[in-house]
Amino acid sequence: MRLKNKVALITGGSSGIGRGICHAFAREGASIVFVGKSPDKGRRTEEELLALGADAVFLQANLADRSVLPGIVEEVIKKFGKLDILVNNAQTSKNVIFEETTEEVMNLAFNTGFWPTFILMRTALPYLKVTKGKVINFVSAAGMIGLSKQSSYAAAKEAIRGISRVAATEWGRYGITVNLLSPIANSPGVDRLQEEHPNAYNKMVSLIPLGRIGDCEEDIGRAAVFLASSDADYITGQTIMVDGGTVMVR
Ligand SMILES: NC(=O)c1ccc[n+]([C@@H]2O[C@H](COP(=O)([O-])OP(=O)(O)OC[C@H]3O[C@@H](n4cnc5c(N)ncnc54)[C@H](O)[C@@H]3O)[C@@H](O)[C@H]2O)c1
């Protein structure tokens, strides 16, 4: 129960890694508000979390609509009275080569990833100051090593990394930590890759030193629990690679 009495807001929590984090947080006693686009998937995950005994609320919203973002933080405060942990996990993007990356493609990655992360962090700050809160944002090897066909995704993720480091610097004085997770895990996004581009999927797995794709809850969710817990009080501004060694060991 390392997150007992903690209140967490998790974006993209209905499926994939976000759902894994919701489950891992629920098992550690956190109260959870999670945001997702699909009402069906959201309600299903909410039921799973309630069955685990967690106080969990699903909020249906399209994070690309910037006008709804401040209201999401206010909903958390209305329901639980405080915010301890903000996890910016949601992201959408389209894979195309650089010269076919239109402004529309670039905007999709920024509108679903960068802007929600930035605006939710800014809106949450007054509440995180009170709790000496933790922010966990998501990045990707795509930006760090420059994966082909991912310019918009890489750009949005590295923009998230940039503002996270600045926030870590500025918010340290409030006892707020801001860290990044760079995962590899068997989310529906990766399942789609396996179905649609088996060669690319097999190549990705072959480059993982630990020889397997991570699990959304057991691998990524547990790492998020660590960063959200008091065990990580003295860690900030870091990018934690939860990718079986893929980027750092080759
Ligand atoms: N799975 C991996 O191996 C991997 C690798 C590197 C980085 N990441 C990052 O980890 C995070 C989670 O990845 P995933 O694989 O679980 O992704 P996913 O595509 O399987 O799930 C993303 C979640 O975000 C939600 N979402 C996306 N756009 C939204 C919007 N506009 N409004 C509301 N919700 C929205 C989706 O509904 C979904 O629940 C992402 O930030 C991703 O970029 C994942």
Q: What is the pLDDT along the chain (250 residues), one digit of tens a residue?
A: 999 999 999 999 999 999 999 999 999 999 999 999 999 999 999 999 999 999 999 999 999 999 999 999 999 999 999 999 999 999 999 999 999 999 999 999 999 999 999 999 999 999 999 999 999 999 999 999 999 999 999 999 999 999 999 999 999 999 999 999 999 999 998 898 899 889 989 988 999 999 999 999 999 999 999 999 999 999 999 999 999 999 998 7
The predicted structure's pLDDT at residue 200: 85
The predicted structure's pLDDT at residue 14: 98
pLDDT in tens, 56-67: 999 999 999 999
Distance CA 49, CA 42 (A): 11
Q: Give yes or no for residue 69 CB within 6 A of ligand 1.
A: no
The predicted structure's pLDDT at residue 133: 98
Reference 180, options 218, 143, 131; nearest CA is 143
Q: Which of 127, 153, 201, 234 is catalytic?
A: 153
pLDDT in tens, 70-108: 999 999 999 999 999 999 999 999 999 999 999 999 999
The predicted structure's pLDDT at residue 193: 85
Q: CA 117 → CA 10, 15, 120, distances in Å?
A: 11, 18, 5
Counting every residue written for the chain, the total comes to: 250
CA of residue 17 to ligand 1 center, whole Å: 7
Distance CA 47, CA 212 (A): 29
Backbone angles phi, psi at 11, to 5 degrees: -90, 150
Q: CA 7 → CA 33, 87, 230, distances in Å?
A: 8, 11, 14
Q: Give yes or no for residue 112 CB within 6 A of ligand 1.
A: yes
Residue whose CA lies nearest to ligand 1 atom number 4: 184
Answer for the pair 73, 9: CB distance below 8 angstroms, yes or no.
yes
Percent of the chain scored above 70 by pLDDT?
100
Q: Is 153 a catalytic residue?
A: yes
CA of residue 19 to ligand 1 center, whole Å: 10
Q: Give yes or no for residue 39 CB within 6 A of ligand 1.
A: no
Percent of the chain scored above 90 by pLDDT?
94
Q: CA 194 → CA 99, 146, 238, distances in Å?
A: 25, 21, 30
| Residue carrying the six token digits 């960068």 | 114
Distance CA 17, CA 22 (A): 9
